[in-house]
Amino acid sequence: MPTPGRDTIRYGGNTSCYELRIGGEIIVIDAGSGINQLGSALLDEFGANPISLILLNTHTHWDHIQGFPFFIPAYMKNNRIRVIGRNPVPDSLESIFKTQMDGNHCFPVSLETLPSTVSFEHLNPHGQPEFDLGSLKFATCPTNHPGGCLGYSFHTPKGKVVFLSDHETDGPDENVILEFIQDAYILIADTQYTDAEFASRRGWGHGCSSSVISLALRADIKNLYLTHHDPSHTDHFMDGMLAEARSMVPASSPLKVFAAIEREKVLL
Ligand SMILES: [Zn+2]
Ligand SMILES: [Zn+2]
């Protein structure tokens, strides 16, 4: 759930939304409540010019789609939004996006009446591990998360960037995950819980700092961003979590650890 307020003002209180710019493409990962501010930033940048972007969806849990009805570029005629993600059988991405904007969910505007062009495409992660969308090349990997979820890996001229959330570490396919994230310049990974919290929340589909640090060390990651902050974790608590995570990295390791901060820009 979004957690705005004075206790989350530094790390941010919105649910998942990330933007990547690669080779002229605008890629948005997930449409949590953070996509509302992204929409405003895009309008500041593009003005009246058309915006065309790819919205990659990891999965359709509410914290990853709930901001879409508040994404202002979707309300402008010349904009194009390609929503791409795993097939949430027996539903579809389109039906789930439609449902959260129907009258029963108390949203006044339906998906069908949005003036922009919104299209939906399903990926088949088992049949086609690498995807090529013009200048954008990426790979996917199923994560360990109730109901299913996809991690995304982007090969950029400046290095590999991997987004791995939501994912519970120490799952049955940890070796597959290890290979997927291997040698990433940037790994953005789900570390929602402290080790103490994780003990009572196994099976909820999220990671904890110690196992993600261990995974990052084994995979020779250069920069790790802790993310999917728990709604109960204040800025002060996050400072402590980050310090603890950094203390787990041996002095001889090149791994740098950060906590994702809302609206922070990282240049490769
Ligand atoms: Zn989830
Ligand atoms: Zn989530």
pLDDT at 244: 97
Residue type, 137: K
CATH 3.60.15.10 segments of the chain: 129-262
Q: What angle do CA 76, 78, 83 make, to 5 degrees?
A: 80
Going from the Cα of 77 to the center of ligand 1, the distance in angstroms, rounded, reads 31
Prior bond of 90 cis (ω within 30°):
yes
Q: What is the 11 CA–ligand 1 centroid distance (Å)?
A: 20
Residues of the chain with CATH 3.30.750: 1-123
Ligand 1 centre to CA of 97 (Å) is 16
List, in sequence order, every beta strand (DSSP E) within the chain: 18-22, 25-29, 52-57, 80-86, 117-123, 130-133, 136-142, 150-156, 159-164, 186-190, 223-227, 256-259
pLDDT tens column, 94-153: 999 999 999 887 789 999 999 999 999 998 756 556 787 767 789 999 999 999 999 999
Is the domain spanning 1-123 CATH 3.30.200? The answer is no
CA of 159 to the centre of ligand 2 (A): 26
Query: What is the average pLDDT across 230-243?
Result: 98
Helix (H) or strand (E) segment spanning residue 199: helix 195-199
Q: What is the CATH code of the structural domain delimited by 129-262? A: 3.60.15.10
Binning pLDDT at 50, 70 and 90, where does residue 157 land? confident
Share of the chain above pLDDT 70, in %: 97
Q: According to the model, what pLDDT value does residue 125 have?
A: 55
Ligand 2 mean position to 166 CA, how many Å?
5
How far is the centre of ligand 2, averaged over its atoms, from the C-alpha of 50 (Å)? Answer: 30
> Residue 228 Cα, ligand 1 centroid: separation in angstroms?
10
- Distance from the CA of 239 to the center of ligand 2, in angstroms? 21
34/30 Cα distance (integer angstroms): 9
Q: State in Å: Cα 64 to ligand 2 middle.
A: 6
Predicted local confidence at residue 128, as pLDDT: 54
Average pLDDT over residues 201-219: 97
Q: Give me the pLDDT at residue 136, please.
A: 75
pLDDT surpassing 60 at residue 162: yes
Query: How far is 68 from 28, CA to CA, in rounded Å?
Result: 11
- More confident call, 168 vs 132: 168
Instruction: Tell me what percent of the residues of the chain surpass a pLDDT of 90.
Output: 88
- What is the distance in A from the centroid of ligand 1 to the CA of 154? 21
How high is the pLDDT of residue 24?
85
Q: Separation of 48 CA from ligand 1 center, angstroms?
A: 35
- Which ligand sits closest to the CA of 149? 1
DSSP tag of 225? E
Each residue's pLDDT tens digit, 40-81? 999 999 999 999 999 999 999 999 999 999 999 999 999 999
As a whole number of Å, the end-to-end CA separation of the chain is 30
**Which residues, by Cβ under 5 Å, contact ligand 2, an ion?**
63, 166
Report the mean per-residue pLDDT for the chain.
94
Centre of ligand 2 from the C-alpha of residue 16, in Å: 7
Residues in Cβ contact with 110 at an 8 Å cutoff, skipping those fewer than 6 apart: 98, 101, 102
For residue 265, which phi and psi values (nearest 5 degrees)? -110, 135
CA 184 to chain centre: 16
